[in-house]
């Protein structure tokens, strides 16, 4: 129990140091200045429908993006999760994760997330209408997560992500680290859970590659033009500190009701508040709703709003459980996001 308390205290103190560094750097002044924004794109219909407020309640493979400690709550020997989401401007986000339990040794999972943008015409300063060529940006991350239950009430987990981005003939790569903890039954209050996580602490990213080579010629010199390389600046990863609460409301019978809240602090934007609710009937049908809002009411750049969703849990014999989830997220200026997830527990 002493080790557990030390770990939680360390994570909280790290979050406070992170918050102080953000305040010093002026997070709002760095909008658009962070690298690997793909890390922030949410995955999983269940948590999307809850407005991303599920740091304390996310469990199993669904928790990998939201709080890696939740992986330790999985009661299955093995699980598979696939998810797809229609993103902005006809982009598509695809996600897959596989996890397994190794008893007292803990839980391991790997995940893969890819964002595709389709074919984009190549334009240059001399051919602003296009050269006739096309390129297809490819952004993906591969992650490995370890999680374990330290006691019957405390879970911890961490994730390492390898990040790769290829846009035209330029590319960048990096590594990020995330860690989280979940405390079940906070303050001896049954049904009240706490989740804390620090996400995407890692290397700065810099673009390179032949796409940054340009040909130029110095006027007045009798020699052919030569190539020169444009030096791209580096940028920090979009780091986050999140703390959330979840409460299972005692309603009795075969019904279930839970509410969750979350506070998010970032190094690239205003703080955010999130709220979600989940109602289940006989564990077969689950209805969800969520809401996100920035800490600054005058922030006109915040485009997310309400979200809704539902889930079905089906027992299909050899497979312990089949879970099908859908989420609808309202977005300002763009088409709404539609997310589908399918999970198999063995």
Q: What does the pLDDT average to over 231-248? A: 92
Q: What does the pLDDT average to over 45-53? A: 96
Q: How much is the pLDDT for 30? A: 57
The residue among 278 and 185 whose pLDDT is bigger is: 278
Domains in the chain: how many in total? 1
List the one residue out of 111, 76, 78 whose CA is nearest residue 96.
Answer: 111
Q: How confident is the model at residue 22 (pLDDT cuts 50, 70, 90)?
A: very low
Please check whether residue 124 lies inside any domain of the structure. yes
Q: How many CA atoms lie within 13 A of 152 on its CB side?
A: 1
31 has a pLDDT exceeding 90:
no
d(Cα 59, Cα 53) in Å, to the nearest integer? 13
Domain span at residue 106?
A: 2-247
d(Cα 264, Cα 274) in Å, to the nearest integer? 8
Please check whether residue 301 lies inside any domain of the structure. no
Q: How much is the pLDDT for 298? A: 62
72: how many CB neighbours lie within 10 A of its CB?
Answer: 23
Please check whether residue 283 lies inside any domain of the structure. no
Q: How much is the pLDDT for 3? A: 47
19 has a pLDDT exceeding 60:
no
Q: How much is the pLDDT for 1? A: 47
257 has a pLDDT exceeding 70:
yes
Please check whether residue 302 lies inside any domain of the structure. no
Please check whether residue 321 lies inside any domain of the structure. no
Q: Which residues contact 158 (CB under 8 A, 6 or more apart)?
A: 68, 145, 146, 147, 177, 178, 179, 180
pLDDT in tens, 265-323: 888 888 899 999 999 988 789 999 999 988 876 666 778 889 999 999 987 766 678 99
Please check whether residue 260 lies inside any domain of the structure. no
Percent of the chain with pLDDT over 70: 86
Please check whether residue 205 lies inside any domain of the structure. yes
Please check whether residue 267 lies inside any domain of the structure. no
pLDDT in tens, 106-154: 999 999 999 998 888 988 878 888 888 898 998 999 999 999 999 999 9
């Amino acid at each position: 129990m002493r080790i557990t308390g030390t770990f939680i205290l360390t994570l909280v103190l790290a979050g406070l140091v992170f918050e102080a560094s953000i305040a010093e750097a002026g997070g709002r002044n760095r909008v658009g200045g962070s690298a690997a924004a793909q890390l922030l794109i949410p995955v999983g219909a269940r948590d999307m429908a809850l407005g991303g407020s599920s740091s304390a309640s996310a469990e199993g493979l669904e928790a990998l993006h939201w709080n890696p400690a939740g992986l330790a709550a999985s009661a299955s020997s093995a699980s598979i999760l696939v998810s797809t989401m229609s993103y902005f401007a006809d982009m598509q986000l695809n996600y897959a994760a596989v996890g397994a339990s190794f008893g007292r040794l803990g839980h391991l999972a790997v995940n893969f997330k890819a964002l595709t943008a389709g074919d984009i015409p190549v334009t240059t300063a001399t051919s602003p209408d296009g050269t006739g060529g096309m390129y297809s940006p490819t952004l993906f991350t591969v992650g490995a997560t370890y999680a374990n239950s330290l006691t019957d009430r405390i879970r911890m987990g961490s994730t390492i992500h390898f990040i790769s981005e290829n846009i035209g003939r330029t590319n960048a790569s990096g590594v990020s680290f995330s860690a989280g903890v979940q405390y079940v039954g906070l303050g001896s209050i049954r049904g009240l859970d706490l989740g804390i996580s620090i996400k995407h602490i890692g290397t700065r990213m810099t673009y390179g590659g032949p796409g940054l080579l340009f040909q130029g010629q110095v006027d007045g010199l009798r020699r052919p033009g030569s190539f020169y390389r444009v030096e791209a600046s580096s940028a920090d990863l979009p780091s986050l500190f999140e703390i959330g609460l979840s409460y299972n409301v005692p309603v009795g019978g075969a019904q279930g009701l839970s509410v969750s809240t979350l506070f998010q602090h970032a190094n690239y934007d205003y703080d955010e508040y999130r709220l979600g609710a989940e109602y289940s009937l006989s564990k077969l049908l689950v209805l969800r709703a969520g809401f996100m809002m920035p800490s600054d009411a005058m922030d006109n750049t915040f485009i997310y709003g309400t979200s809704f969703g539902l889930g079905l849990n089906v027992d299909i014999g050899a497979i312990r459980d089949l879970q099908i989830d859908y989420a609808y997220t309202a977005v300002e200026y763009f088409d709404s996001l539609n997310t589908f997830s399918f999970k198999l527990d063995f």
